[in-house]
Amino acid sequence: MDLDKGILIVEDETPIAEVLSYALSSEGYNVQHSMHGGEALQLLRNNHFALAILDVGLPDMSGFDLCRELRSFSDIPILFLTSRCDEIDRIIGLEIGADDYVSKPFSPREVAARVRVILRRRMSGSGKREHHWFEQNSETERISFCNNQLDLTRYEQLLLQQLLQHPGRIYERTLLMDLIWRDALDTSDRTVDTHIKTLRAKLKHIRQDIEPIITHRGMGYSLINGTDA
């Protein structure tokens, strides 16, 4: 199976899902369908999909909650299906990290066209994430901050690299532990905090006046969004 062709449709109205499945399959995508948010999350955690299409009104949770949860572990492109042409839905959807939305009723061809555009946009943007202050050399992997190359320990490097993948996203300590220290033997509750502290000190050494790493009390850490900087 071509990993870049997998699409998950999360929609509780079977006729809509079928029409969409048909339109996307005939364009060469491998389509899976789920009726429930909970089941969809599990599928998305355990499988690779190129894109997810989420209905806003699902029986067990809203598509927005599903998107928020999904965004805590995945950067997968998301297209929302909204039932109203409500601008609120559109704005919420895009604010919480969706790539686009389509209002019902829609033509399946239109959805397929949007999917193509999103995937093309993602492909062309991959590998060169830009941040206002940080830059990573794609060959050496070394990171510079305000044009100063950083001298980081292995874990500081992994931590900063992770935060840089999704500026603005809040990473819980437990998630960072799982992502970065999963093979480490010697860790404690303070491991993440300790490394954030040393990393901050190194950044501060270069620029006193900016604080790129944000602490979210009781939640975790994020890197300031490069585009608002």
* Residue ranges that bind Ca ion, judged by CB under 5 A: 12, 55, 57
Question: CB of residue 116 vs Ca ion: minimum separation in angstroms?
Answer: 24
Question: CB of residue 57 vs Ca ion: minimum separation in angstroms?
Answer: 4
Question: CB of residue 55 vs Ca ion: minimum separation in angstroms?
Answer: 4
Of all residues in this chain, which one has the CB nearest to Ca ion in the complex?
57
Question: CB of residue 107 vs Ca ion: minimum separation in angstroms?
Answer: 18
What is the torsional sign of CA 44, 110, 23, 14?
positive
Question: CB of residue 82 vs Ca ion: minimum separation in angstroms?
Answer: 10
E strands, 69-122, are 78-82, 100-103
Beta carbon nearer to Ca ion, 55 or 156? 55
Contact indicator for 77, 126 with CB cutoff of 8 Å: no
3-state SS assignment for residue 179? helix
Beta carbon nearer to Ca ion, 105 or 127? 105
**Closest C-alpha to 56, from 114, 105, 8, 103:** 103
Beta carbon nearer to Ca ion, 11 or 156? 11
Beta carbon nearer to Ca ion, 69 or 135? 69
Contact indicator for 29, 20 with CB cutoff of 8 Å: no
Give the C-alpha separation, 203 to 191, whole Å: 19
Beta carbon nearer to Ca ion, 59 or 125? 59
